[in-house]
């Protein structure tokens, strides 16, 4: 607030309280500790998510996994980097070859999308479910080929959206809209994203 007094701030812990007027075209979207449950239990898959939005478009994003010593950052139009090394979303040719990374698995299985999501997992080569920001990191690190998230908040997805896009991936919600606001996300290479989106929309 000291550095950017005219900017709005939206955060998981602080909400929008004390933010700049709604007329501000700049908004910081923050999750100080994504993966709080894992953090509290001594896990490694937690960390901060920070993004800056201008006129409704996310232009800067960063996330970190402090225990693992990893930091990811992106500026719109300049790529996504992990500790200075360019990240690129993998491009497996078919879903049957893909590893899918799952975020909030319990929420996904309790959602109206449980049946098609289960079918996507069943027909993929492999599935991983680290959850929280580590699920997105799997995609950015090339350890997974697609990432599915469900039932979270905008501060959980705002930074990953730009990180994925700048790594060459496609990020949308389950309706195909390129927004983090709905709390649902599919991210992958264009071909795998199209396959997963069609399945979830069915």
Q: Could you please report the per-residue DSSP string of 113-178?
A: THHHHHHHHHHSSEEE---HHHHHHHHHTTS-SEEEE-S--HHHHHHHHHHHHHTT-EEE-TTS--
Asked if pLDDT for residue 63 goes beyond 90, the answer is yes
pLDDT tens digit sequence for 88-105: 998 788 999 999 999 988
> CA 173, CA 180: separation in Å to the nearest integer?
7
Q: In this structure, what are the phi and psi dihedrals at residue 48, rounded to the nearest 5 degrees? A: -85, 150
Radius of gyration of the chain (CA): 16
pLDDT tens digit sequence for 131-154: 889 999 999 999 999 999 999 999
Question: How much of the chain exceeds pLDDT 90, in percent?
Answer: 86
Q: What is the dihedral of CA 45, 13, 30, 1, to 10 degrees?
A: -140
Give the pLDDT band of residue 202 (cuts 50, 70, 90).
Answer: confident
Nearest partner of 72 among 155, 140, 131, judged by Cα = 140
Overall average pLDDT of the 46-69 stretch: 97
Q: Is 72 exposed, middle or buried (0-12, 13-18, 19+ CB in 10 A)?
A: buried
- Tell me how far CA of residue 45 lies from CA of 7, 25, 34, 84, 117, in angstroms: 30, 33, 9, 21, 23
User: Bridge partners of 61?
Assistant: 51, 74
Asked if pLDDT for residue 58 goes beyond 90, the answer is yes
**Pairing between β-strand 47-54 and β-strand 185-188 as defined by DSSP bridges:** unpaired
* 51 contacts 74 by C-beta, under 8 angstroms: no
Threshold 0.75, pTM exceeds = yes
pLDDT tens digit sequence for 2-56: 899 999 999 988 766 544 455 689 999 999 999 999 999 999 999 999 999 999 9
């Amino acid at each position: 607030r000291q550095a950017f007094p005219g900017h709005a701030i939206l955060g998981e812990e602080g909400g929008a309280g004390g933010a700049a007027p709604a007329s501000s075209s700049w908004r910081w979207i923050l999750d100080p500790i994504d993966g709080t449950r894992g953090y509290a239990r001594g896990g490694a898959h937690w960390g901060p998510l920070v993004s800056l939005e201008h006129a409704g478009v996310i232009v800067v994003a960063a996330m970190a996994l402090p225990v693992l010593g990893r930091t990811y950052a992106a500026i719109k139009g300049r790529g996504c980097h992990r500790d200075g090394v360019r990240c690129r979303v993998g491009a497996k040719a078919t879903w049957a070859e893909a590893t899918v990374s799952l975020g909030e698995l319990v929420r996904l299985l309790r959602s109206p999308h449980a049946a098609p999501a289960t079918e996507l997992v069943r027909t993929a080569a492999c599935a991983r479910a680290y959850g929280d920001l580590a699920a997105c990191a799997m995609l950015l690190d090339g350890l997974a080929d697609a990432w599915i998230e469900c039932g979270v908040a905008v501060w959980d997805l705002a930074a990953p959206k730009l990180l994925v896009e700048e790594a060459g991936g496609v990020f949308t919600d389950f309706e195909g809209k390129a927004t983090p606001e709905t709390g649902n996300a599919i991210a992958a290479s264009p071909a795998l994203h199209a396959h997963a989106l069609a399945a979830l929309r069915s």
